[in-house]
Amino acid sequence: MGALNASLKCAHIRLSNSNSTVSVIHPQRFAPVQGIVHVVCGSWGRPYYEVTIDHLDAAFGSTCAVGWDLKRESLANFPIAGLTCGEDGVSYGVSIQNDGFVNARGKAEFVGFSFHQNSVVGCGLDLANSRAVFVVNGKTIDLSAAQEQEDMRLQANCAFVPAATIFAARLNSQCQVTFNFTGPFKFEQFFKDGRWSALADSKSKDV
């Protein structure tokens, strides 16, 4: 299934399932996590991965944002991809939240595609065009209109990693997600034309 970066694991989460499953153990705190494979916008390729939302009590205010964040040396500031600036002070990642917002360039934009417990979210990144694509329960989210205005286009020559930030709202909240970096994937239509590839096939890793 691939692996998340255990060396950056914060105290609020537990990793399991060969470091591909994230469970929140301390509620009422933002709990970020990043993958070990990074890709660079401005290069070639279209890496893709999926996240299954195993548990999320959104009705009580728990949230989950998944997407692509800047490669970071520390998660001590509890970053949310797209909202929290990278360590270079100017660049941002991008993420989609369960409540239908997309985070990019330091702000949130409502796109209306929400997800919930048992949903599968696909995250693709067109490196040559620095554009992210999300698939929620089989529906592709078209961000092209905003991206033409550079609002949601990612910074070229920056390294990006798969990322999620989870917020468990209650003491007994069950919030857990599982990453799939290798396949087989639920949304295989992304691979029929051969243009997309599993993120795990990318060469750059932090170990």
Nearest one of 145, 168, 124 to 14, comparing CA atoms: 168
Is residue 51 within 8 A of residue 180, CB to CB? The reply is: yes
Nearest one of 77, 6, 50 to 180, comparing CA atoms: 50
Q: Indicate the pTM of the whole model.
A: 0.92
Nearest one of 119, 11, 29, 101 to 65, comparing CA atoms: 101
Is residue 57 within 8 A of residue 169, CB to CB? The reply is: yes
Q: Which two tokens stand for residue 97?
A: 């939240």
Please tell me the distance from the alpha carbon of residue 113 to that of residue 97, in angstroms, as a whole number.
9
Ordered per-residue pLDDT tens for the chain, 207 residues: 458 999 998 889 999 999 999 999 988 899 999 999 999 999 999 999 999 999 999 888 999 999 999 999 999 999 999 999 999 999 999 999 999 999 999 999 888 889 999 999 999 999 998 999 999 988 888 665 444 444 567 888 999 999 999 999 988 888 999 999 999 999 887 777 778 899 988 866 553
Domains present along the chain, CATH in parentheses = 6-201 (2.60.120.920)
Please tell me the distance from the alpha carbon of residue 158 to that of residue 7, in angstroms, as a whole number.
21
Is residue 95 within 8 A of residue 68, CB to CB? The reply is: yes
